[in-house]
Structure 1
Amino acid sequence: MMKMNAKSTVAVGLLALVGLTSEVKALPAFATQTGMDCKACHMQHIERLNKFGRKFMASGMTISQKFTDENSSGSDINPSVMFKSIYEKTDKKPGASGNVSDNTETNDGILSVPRTASLFVGGRVTEDFGALLNLSYKSQRDNAISGKAVYADEIEDGYIGLSAYSTADFGPFSGMEIYNSGLYKPFRTFDIRRLSNAIQATEIGSGAATGLQAYFDKDGALADGDHVFATVGMYAQGQDNNQLELTSNLLPIFRLAYEYPVGAYNLILGGFAIAGGETTSDLSALRVERETYGMDLMVEGYIGDKEVTLTMSKVFKNEVSYTGIGAGTSRELDNLDNEAFSVGGQVNLTPDFGVKLAYLTLDDHYDYADGGKGELKKVDVKDIDNAITVGMDYSFKYYLPMKLSVEHSWAKPSKAGIEDYRDLLISFNMLF
């Protein structure tokens, strides 16, 4: 991790492109498995899914070009590696105390090459069983291991299944979530996620989680051309028992989405909920209680020959309370009480180049007073009157699939005395 001025950033970027001239013929794991180009599964840009990509995930990652016999039990497991490098430069972004000096690293600009390096191994294990393992190096956080195993039974025009999963970063819906609204952290439009996506800004669609999700996925469920996707399950907010006893803190989760074609567009309306847990005394084992409700809307289709998407998300309530021994001792155990709204979209001006725009508001209801003593634990810097984020994505293949994104956000905090701030982020993804 290095701090760099503008000239150094340009120089490193040029060197990175020059360094890619050596031929590497390996393909990403799922492209190898399906025998298709990446665009067969991804809408506009990796990692967001299109209709076929959603079907592939609902199949438990079992669709394979190697096995045309539906009774075959052969496996098709492949590896992939992803490198993601990021340059981020903020301007006047406040820290927890409300002072800009708390956040000097990003305000001075940080280049991480790579920010994340991940090894993925997965695919079809048997005809109706798939799995995926993710080992990640992170330059600014602890290294992580995530994985899931999915049983998928094919029904008429769809699948029913069960997913067991554990993730360090991608949130409670990681077992099976197929839409691009941000409930599953990778399926979002912007890398500047906390200023562009309501579900990410409220921390619903990210963080550690371990659980089970049963799901139902079917075309033509209620009418010709429609699609229903539903999941229900239980999860705990962690991967081990170091901070939170997982089996004593299981929370129910629910997700329902309905797709319906209208002319040249596909409309997807969804809802989600997490509600359960309990509070306890200060001297008892750590417990979590949560109430989270929200809705999302997606529109995907074409204007002329230009591919377009629109995503709206509304978080009505997201209240998370930790009580007992250890509550509030780390960022992962901080209480939350917020709501948010976001709307964003992308237009692909060419098949490889797209421009995007998002608008977000965030209302942080949490009372930062320290036990009624009149002392603030933190300054409420999370309230945002509005944030506007613009960006562009360029996907290309130069021996390997790659994506370059440039994004810029302007945020207007609600609290008086905290200045407006900006965030510039440049990311470069490379897959093989």
Structure 2
Amino acid sequence: MKKLFVVMSVMAFAMMGVMVTPKESAAVPSFARQMNLPCFSCHYQHIPKLNAFGRSFKAGGFTDAAVDLIEDELVSVPATAPVSFVIKYRYQQATNKTSSDPKVGLERGEWQVYDEAAAWFAGRAGKNVGYAVEFPGPAVSSKVVFTGTVGDVRAGLVAFATDALGPFWGMDLSNTGVVRSARAFEHRKETSAAQASGLGDGEVTGLTLYANTGLIFAAVGLWGPAIEGPDTGFDLSTSYRVAVMPTLGGFDTLIGVFGTAGKTKCGNCGNLGLDGTAIAEVKTEALGVDLQAQGDVGGMTLELQAQYVTVSANDVMYKKGDYLSAQAELGLSKALVLGLAYGNTTDKSGSSDLKTSAITGKLTWNLAQNVSITPEYTVYSEDGRSKDNQLTVMVFAGF
């Protein structure tokens, strides 16, 4: 009852706050400044989800600009400083399936202030070169995008490394959690099959080659499962991603296939607990499909997602099993977005299958386009669960 009261109180406060939310607000992170546009020109309903224009900007390697440029022979950079700061504060509390005595950690409630705080230098480095670098570094996320156009096709090569965002961090255009940071819900493993399986997260160093026509996006990559000095040589795994992005029935739609294949050989892959004294072989076999649709219904914005991932064998990177997720977010206004998600996991790594189901509800209150408060609550069921429920209240800001 106490936890329910907290959830209801936060939601009531958010509903009341919508009435006094400013009708006009401007985003200020470096991409918005570079394009001289508000955040929601690229984002759909709330940060970090992208709309069609945002996908185009991302596929362009962050090189498009609508501000004054410093230009000369072999120089073309924005006159504005490409600096952003992103913070996430969270309160989390959970009820475990088997409670500890005394209760500690999430069962007592954790004030994660901050859960995330990062400075980003990101944007245009040249006419055909873009970048995104997280600080303080060095073991954090970064990438450099070399891009150009051939007819109507925008193509590029991305060199990247990440401490947590997975093998598709190089380039992906979806909101479905194929990249850990590109998702709709904070409870990522409960609401995204790619996150539940591990396919969409983890330490990675790699290269991605991609092409985008606006209707079709395709990418293939080479990668190893570590960020600091992996000694893989060219014994690398592959990643692949194909998506079609038509307009169907008035909905901006993405239908895609993604996965990883092959294996990596390395001695120094710290992410995997290897110490460099022997060469290990890391299998990376997983396959996923996803669907995303954005459109207007009754004067409100709606995004629907569905995703399925299968992992055929146990290995260090992933756990054998089947993973399914579906979600919907309804934007009652630019300030208020309601979300509901379902996730189902069948863990096949042991002698018998273990199933876990999760239902998650949330409310996103956009105080500004670049500032939001989100209460989120998940209820778990079936024998494989480790928790009965979990509450998160998150404050996000980017400026």
TM-score by length of 2: 0.84
State the Cα distance separating 1:175 from its structure 2 match: 0.5
Which residue of the other structure, out of 77, 82, 89, is the alignment partner of 1:85? 89
- The yes-or-no answer on 1:421 pairing with 2:379 is no
Which residue of the other structure, out of 301, 308, 323, is the alignment partner of 1:307? 301
Structure 2: distance between partners of 1:292 and 1:276: 10
State the Cα distance separating 1:178 from its structure 2 match: 1.1
Tell me the alpha carbon deviations over residues 113-171 of structure 1, each in whole angstroms, 9 at most, x when there is no partner.
1111100001101111001101269xxxxx94210000110233341101000000111
Counterpart residue number, 2:20: none
Aligned with 1:32: secondary structure? helix
Structure 1: distance between partners of 2:223 and 2:314: 14
The one-letter amino acid of 1:256's match is V
1:288–1:320: 8 Å Cα contact kept in structure 2?
A: no
1:249–1:287: 8 Å Cα contact kept in structure 2?
A: no
Aligned with 2:246: secondary structure? strand
2:288–2:310: 8 Å Cα contact kept in structure 1?
A: yes
2:224–2:264: 8 Å Cα contact kept in structure 1?
A: no
The one-letter amino acid of 1:365's match is K
State the Cα distance separating 1:263 from its structure 2 match: 2.4
Structure 1 102/159 Cα, relative in aligned 2: closer, same or farther at 3 Å?
farther
Structure 1: distance between partners of 2:285 and 2:258: 11
Counterpart residue number, 1:104: 104
The one-letter amino acid of 2:226's match is G
Structure 1 200/116 Cα, relative in aligned 2: closer, same or farther at 3 Å?
same
Counterpart residue number, 1:364: 347
Structure 2: distance between partners of 1:258 and 1:67: 34
State the Cα distance separating 1:351 from its structure 2 match: 1.4
Structure 1 133/105 Cα, relative in aligned 2: closer, same or farther at 3 Å?
same
* More displaced 10-residue stretch of structure 1: 351-360 or 309-318: 309-318
Counterpart residue number, 2:21: none
2:197–2:311: 8 Å Cα contact kept in structure 1?
A: no
- The yes-or-no answer on 1:186 pairing with 2:190 is no
The one-letter amino acid of 1:358's match is A
The one-letter amino acid of 1:78's match is P
- The yes-or-no answer on 1:293 pairing with 2:277 is no
State the Cα distance separating 1:383 from its structure 2 match: 3.8
Number of aligned residue pairs:
369
2:232–2:265: 8 Å Cα contact kept in structure 1?
A: no
Structure 2: distance between partners of 1:162 and 1:419: 41
- The yes-or-no answer on 1:277 pairing with 2:244 is no
Alignment of 1:313-328 (within 5 A): 313-317=307-311, 319-322=313-316
Alignment of 1:203-214 (within 5 A): 203-214=198-209
Gaps of 5+ in 2: 18-25, 267-273
Counterpart residue number, 1:255: 241
Counterpart residue number, 2:365: 394
Tell me the alpha carbon deviations over residues 172-191 of structure 1, each in whole angstroms, 9 at most, x when there is no partner.
10000111011011111110
Counterpart residue number, 1:347: 330
Indicate the percent of aligned positions where both proteins have the same amino acid.
25
Counterpart residue number, 2:161: 166
Counterpart residue number, 1:75: 77
Counterpart residue number, 2:227: 239
- The yes-or-no answer on 1:405 pairing with 2:386 is no
The one-letter amino acid of 1:406's match is P
Structure 2: distance between partners of 1:26 and 1:312: 29
State the Cα distance separating 1:301 from its structure 2 match: 0.7
2:265–2:279: 8 Å Cα contact kept in structure 1?
A: no
TM-score by length of 1: 0.78
State the Cα distance separating 1:240 from its structure 2 match: 2.1
Structure 2: distance between partners of 1:245 and 1:148: 19
Structure 1 316/336 Cα, relative in aligned 2: closer, same or farther at 3 Å?
closer
Structure 1: distance between partners of 2:201 and 2:102: 23
State the Cα distance separating 1:67 from its structure 2 match: 5.8
1:245–1:286: 8 Å Cα contact kept in structure 2?
A: no
Tell me the alpha carbon deviations over residues 350-380 of structure 1, each in whole angstroms, 9 at most, x when there is no partner.
1121000001110111127xxxxxxxxxxx9
- The yes-or-no answer on 1:120 pairing with 2:120 is yes
Structure 1 195/384 Cα, relative in aligned 2: closer, same or farther at 3 Å?
farther
Structure 1 89/249 Cα, relative in aligned 2: closer, same or farther at 3 Å?
farther
Tell me the alpha carbon deviations over residues 294-353 of structure 1, each in whole angstroms, 9 at most, x when there is no partner.
10011111102111000100002254524xxxxxxxxxx7x6212200000100001121
Structure 2: distance between partners of 1:419 and 1:64: 48
Aligned with 1:199: secondary structure? helix
1:81–1:120: 8 Å Cα contact kept in structure 2?
A: yes
- The yes-or-no answer on 1:265 pairing with 2:255 is no
Aligned with 1:246: secondary structure? coil
1:389–1:408: 8 Å Cα contact kept in structure 2?
A: yes
Tell me the alpha carbon deviations over residues 220-242 of structure 1, each in whole angstroms, 9 at most, x when there is no partner.
xxxxxxx000000100111124x
Structure 1 73/266 Cα, relative in aligned 2: closer, same or farther at 3 Å?
same
State the Cα distance separating 1:103 from its structure 2 match: 8.0
State the Cα distance separating 1:100 from its structure 2 match: 4.7
Aligned with 1:121: secondary structure? strand
Superposition RMSD in Å: 3.1
Tell me the alpha carbon deviations over residues 50-108 of structure 1, each in whole angstroms, 9 at most, x when there is no partner.
11110111111001113699x984112510001110000001255xxxx6569830111
Aligned with 1:62: secondary structure? coil
The one-letter amino acid of 2:111's match is L
Structure 2: distance between partners of 1:230 and 1:419: 37
Structure 2: distance between partners of 1:420 and 1:233: 36
The one-letter amino acid of 2:224's match is A
Aligned with 1:145: secondary structure? coil
Which residue of the other structure, out of 125, 132, 146, is the alignment partner of 2:141? 146
Where has structure 1 moved over 4 Å in runs of 4 or more? 99-103
Structure 2: distance between partners of 1:396 and 1:175: 31
